[in-house]
Amino acid sequence: MVNLPQSKKEHIVSTISILLGLFFLFSAFAKALDMGQFVNVIADYGFPKFKFMAPIVLGCELFLAVSLIFNVKTKLTAGCGVVFIIALTLIYIYGWLFKDILDCGCFGKIKILSSSPFVVLLRNFILIVLLSVLFVISDNNYDISGYTLIAYFLVAGIGSFIGGYTCNYAFSGQGSEKPFKPQTIAEFGLDKYIQTSSDSTYIVFLFSYKCPHCINSIGNLLLYESSGSADRIMGLALEDTSINANAREIFPSTIEIRNLSKEEMTKLTEELPTTLYLRNDSVISANYGELPSPYLLTK
């Protein structure tokens, strides 16, 4: 135990604990705002069978948040936090080195907080240091009060409700049509990448060659082409220099593919794959997730 005056130690513990608690609370609710996207992040790491971990990660963050804010068993909570952040950091390093993942998905759909690998690792290092300091100088002498229990249930309930409401197709593996207001292609931002005719229909498939949901959708996409569900099918792919040129061969030559940068793709959609149905120079519907049968999208 570090020898500090009791009052100073309590002040340091309280300040660090509350700041860390607020960070975990913000991170958890940022993920809950679009759990389907966070599930996709897990799949992008190459672990689609572990999609069930998404709500567990959310729950861990909410538990850490309330425990830290209310100084509940601070030493134990800080120790669990260190293990939690180290585990997430190691998973991120794996995704960065072997899956070319840059955005850790830590803040869900709040894209303005997306960070480079250096910033992610630096942030996690700072969190580990602060949690370690908290572990060293804090005690485990705080009992859980009735107010704290209420906070646990309240935060867990709100987080679970938001996360469940936004989860969409995530656990079924199927795509979903979110509430969508038809827009012209200019309003949607597609006019920079495709040219359309007002008397024709189009399907635009936004995808990544490394996204398992995208690859699983290609079979149904080919059914759209063969069934004549649209006059023309086009693809907008997330640009990736590490992808072999032969990857283009999974699509027939009749489907035009154009590469977009990450910034360009993010302006169009926050989820991959996204499938757009166009008619009269307007985006009529948008399907997010794995592509269903032609009937479900164009009905």
- HEC letters along 131-193: HHHHHHHCCCCCCCCHHHHHHHHHHHHHHHHHHHHHCCCCCCCCCECCCCCCEEHHHHCHHHC
* Top-confidence residue, 55 or 79: 79
Residue 145: the pLDDT is 66
Residue 1 is assigned to a structural domain of this protein = no
Q: Which of 107, 133, 166 is the last residue of a domain?
A: 166
Residue 16: the pLDDT is 92
Residue 112: the pLDDT is 55
User: Do 194 and 277 lie in a common domain?
Assistant: yes
**Separation CA 131–CA 116 (nearest Å):** 23
Residue 178 is assigned to a structural domain of this protein = no
Residue 7: the pLDDT is 72
Which range has the worst mean pLDDT, 5-19, 96-110, 205-219? 96-110
Residue 133 is assigned to a structural domain of this protein = yes
Say how far residue 296 (Cα) sits from the centre of its chain: 25
Work out the mean pLDDT of the chain and round it to a whole number.
80
Give the mean model confidence (pLDDT) for residues 152-156.
79
Q: Is the pLDDT of residue 108 over 70?
A: no
Q: Which of 166, 197, 232 is the last residue of a domain?
A: 166
Q: Is the pLDDT of residue 138 over 90?
A: no
| Closest among 114, 119, 133, 18 to 64, alpha carbons compared | 18
Tokens of 193: 């990448």
Q: Is the pLDDT of residue 171 over 70?
A: no
For the ranges 115-119, 150-154, 221-225, the maximum mean pLDDT occurs at: 221-225
Element (H, E) at 264: helix 262-268
User: Do 190 and 157 lie in a common domain?
Assistant: no
User: Do 58 and 141 lie in a common domain?
Assistant: yes
User: Do 160 and 197 lie in a common domain?
Assistant: no
* Top-confidence residue, 215 or 123: 123
Residue 174: the pLDDT is 47
Angle, helices 35-44 vs 212-227, to 10°: value is 100
Cβ–Cβ < 8 Å for 210, 240: yes
User: Do 148 and 66 lie in a common domain?
Assistant: yes
Residue 173 is assigned to a structural domain of this protein = no
Residue 210 is assigned to a structural domain of this protein = yes
The answer to whether the peptide bond before residue 179 is cis (omega within 30 degrees of 0) is no
Residue 176 is assigned to a structural domain of this protein = no
User: Do 53 and 188 lie in a common domain?
Assistant: no
User: Do 161 and 215 lie in a common domain?
Assistant: no
Residue 265 is assigned to a structural domain of this protein = yes
Residue 170: pLDDT band with limits 50, 70, 90: very low
Residue 132 is assigned to a structural domain of this protein = yes
Burial readout 94-108 (b: 16 or more C-beta within 10 A, e: otherwise): ebbeeeebebbbbbb
User: Do 94 and 152 lie in a common domain?
Assistant: yes
Q: Is the pLDDT of residue 298 over 50?
A: no
User: Do 212 and 292 lie in a common domain?
Assistant: yes
Which range has the worst mean pLDDT, 97-111, 131-145, 174-188, 275-289? 97-111
Which range has the worst mean pLDDT, 74-78, 88-92, 218-222? 218-222
What range defines the domain where residue 279 resides?
Answer: 183-298
User: Do 120 and 191 lie in a common domain?
Assistant: no
Give the mean model confidence (pLDDT) for residues 49-76.
86
Q: Which of 140, 166, 192 is the last residue of a domain?
A: 166
What percent of the chain is modeled with pLDDT above 70?
Answer: 78
Per the structure, how many domains does the chain have? 2
Task: Please indicate, yes or no, whether the overall pTM of this predicted structure exceeds 0.85.
Answer: no
Give the mean model confidence (pLDDT) for residues 254-275.
86
User: Do 67 and 212 lie in a common domain?
Assistant: no
User: Do 188 and 90 lie in a common domain?
Assistant: no
What percent of the chain is modeled with pLDDT above 90?
Answer: 23
Which range has the worst mean pLDDT, 87-96, 146-155, 270-279? 146-155
**Separation CA 57–CA 31 (nearest Å):** 10
